[in-house]
A and B are shown apart, each in its own frame.
Chain A
Amino acid sequence: MTKLKTWIAGTAAALATSPVFAADGPIKAPTAEQMATMVNKGDTTWMLVSAALVLLMSVPALALFYGGLVRTKNMLSLLMQVFMIVSIAALVWVGWGYSLAFTSGTPFIGGFSKIFLQGVDATTLAATFSNNVYIPEYAFVVFQMTFACITPALIVGAFAERVRFVPLMIFVVAWLSIVYFPIAHMVWYWAGPDFLPDAPTDAGFLWGMGALDFAGGTVVHINAGIAGLVGCLMIGKRIGYGKEATPPHSLTMTMIGASLLWVGWFGFNAGSNLEANGLAALAFINTFVATAAAAVSWALVEQFHHGRPSLLGAVTGAVAGLVAITPASGFAAPMTSIALGLIVSPVCYFFVSVVKNKLKYDDTLDVFGVHCVGGILGAIGTAIVADPSLGGQGFFDYTVFPAAVGAYDMGAQLVTQVKAVVLTLIWSGVGSAVLFFILDKTLGLRPDADAEREGLDLSSHGERAYNY
């Protein structure tokens, strides 16, 4: 007990002497010099590690997860598409993406003030979710870059095995510019906790509405999922769809990919906290247990439905769980995260095994059924699990200084979440449809029938994934 008291006294003394809360509590609208004293090396480290973890989610995790599910003749095309999309998106992000997403502009899109990262250097800082806590802007730029890299890569699963490479790359650049950056701006841009009280309207449209999206349920998963559905409808079914057997060529690869996605997702969700603190740990454990619960519940559904639980089912359930917990990861409690994971798998299972077959759309790798449906469930579920009466974190009112816990109204939050989902579906659905239409009429999205039959590995890239 004495030891504990000594420790508390010591900590209080340390806090009192820390530069942040030195004089009269937190500093409103700190100057650059003051901000420079508000950076924590632990936070910076965590953000850099998280960014690397999120990159791991795209290459190799997503590439292997997707690649294992296609036929041998198209394996390499998936690997190449994901690898190139990540590379191109990174360049687009530092070119104009960061500026359009994360500078002040209209509520729907930012401006060009940081185009080609002008004005960003090793001394500039980005806000976090706490008053008077900053991280190096480069760390924020690179962390958010990895999100821009993986989101368009998710889309390609919907029309895998039947898309031309160059038009796809052009699509990615255009889609990031007119769909992803605006939605990222609408959901995630705000002036920061030390500046918002003086500029309460300086935030993205959905952020200002109070939509909760901790790590990208709307921005990443619903956004990519609906784009994938539109793409697979406009490109059309694969030759032989429903007639030829198209079983996965390597579920070993798919299992490796899904497992690495799980690992990388800790950076995605816990990193989205922007600080290495208790809430990051909360997002971490929520991500862990929701995924585990979803893997178990998918396996259970198959056990009851077919009498045999499949590996593909278990890993698909895990990904659905990861998707569902993403928007809720920093708001839920571990037990409500488990509930979310248990629920998402049966819903996604219904979409990929019943709805898809009934409506006969060829969403090759179930981008819509897992990412869009799981994302919608997670986005709406966030309103429920965030409720403090269920152990959730509620929301912080950043329009007061210092930020305080706001009163939580689950019903109103549900309505807000639904509005955010609908806006994302429409924005991405319409934007994607326009882009696919233009590219199909000009360059052509679909390879000719011989190239498709031969397989995209040889016809698009002149290589095989395997030579043995």
Chain B
Amino acid sequence: MKLIIAIIKPFKLDDVREALSALGVSGMTITEVKGFGRQKGQTEIYRGAEYSTNMVPKVKVEVACDDAVADRALEAIQQAANTGSIGDGKIFMLDLQAAVRIRTGETGAVAL
């Protein structure tokens, strides 16, 4: 099993969700986050006091999936979240050691 963590532009969330659903990925967790990479924030001015906000709002998507679909899921997110401009985000993939469905106690890929 793999855990995929994708940091994407907030308005791309629906595209990413649809692309993953099409692959049969049955769940995801999202979080509103802030951060920066190459894209920098804007300058805000309040009564002449300037603040440069380095952090840019993003959405973090976490998806756990079976090894068999992991590479295709990675590719689907990359394509769905791509606008071709700076600030599109990053995708990370990690090995997932265990998964448990809390309601039934099932473990492994069936718990996803």
Contacts and interface: CB of A to CB of B under 8 A. Distances in A.
Contact of B48 (A245, A247, A248, A354): A354
A349 B51 CA distance: 18
Contacts of B44: 247
A352 B48 contact: yes
B46 A310 contact: yes
Nearest to A349: B48
Given A247-B46, A247-B51, A312-B47, 18 more contacts: A245-B53, A247-B44, A248-B46, A306-B45, A308-B45, A310-B45, A310-B46, A312-B46, A316-B47, A352-B47, A352-B48, A353-B47, A353-B48, A353-B49, A354-B48, A356-B48, A357-B49, A366-B47
Residue with the greatest number of chain A CB neighbours at <10 A, chosen from B45, B46, B47, B49: B47
B47 A357 contact: no
15 contacts: A245-B51, A247-B51, A248-B46, A310-B45, A312-B46, A312-B47, A313-B47, A316-B47, A349-B48, A352-B48, A353-B47, A353-B48, A356-B48, A357-B49, A366-B47
Contacts of B53: 245
A341 B48 CA distance: 20
A59 to B, nearest CB: 24
Interface in B43-64: 44-49, 51, 53
Interface in A200-252: 245, 247-248
Contacts of A312: 46-47
Main secondary structure of the interface of B (DSSP, over half): strand
A319 to B, nearest CB: 11
A40 B57 CA distance: 61
A114 B44 CA distance: 53
A310 B48 CA distance: 10
A204 B25 CA distance: 82
Interface string A354-372: 1011000000001000000
Could you say which interface size class chain A belongs to? 10 to 19
A383 to B, nearest CB: 29
A312 B50 CA distance: 13
Nearest to A242: B49
Which 3 A-B pairs rank lowest in CB-CB distance, beginning with the nearest?
A: A353-B48, A245-B51, A352-B47
Contacts of B49: 353, 357
Nearest to A298: B47
Contacts of A349: 48
Nearest to A310: B45
A244 B49 CA distance: 12
Nearest to B44: A247
Residue with the greatest number of chain A CB neighbours at <10 A, chosen from B44, B45, B48, B53: B48
Nearest to B53: A245
Nearest to B51: A245
B40 to A, nearest CB: 15
Contacts of B48: 349, 352-354, 356-357
A368 to B, nearest CB: 13
Contacts of B51: 245, 247
Interface in A244-289: 245, 247-248
A190 B77 CA distance: 79
A373 B64 CA distance: 61
A366 B53 CA distance: 23
Interface in B34-87: 44-49, 51, 53
Interface in A315-372: 316, 349, 352-354, 356-357, 366
Contacts of A357: 48-49
Nearest to A244: B51
A245 B44 CA distance: 10
Contacts of B45: 306, 308, 310
Contacts of B47: 312-313, 316, 352-353, 366
A130 B46 CA distance: 46
Interface in A52-69: none
Interface string A292-323: 00000000000000101010110010000000
Nearest to B48: A353
A412 B51 CA distance: 46
A216 B7 CA distance: 56
Nearest to A357: B48
B36 to A, nearest CB: 15
Contacts of A352: 47-48
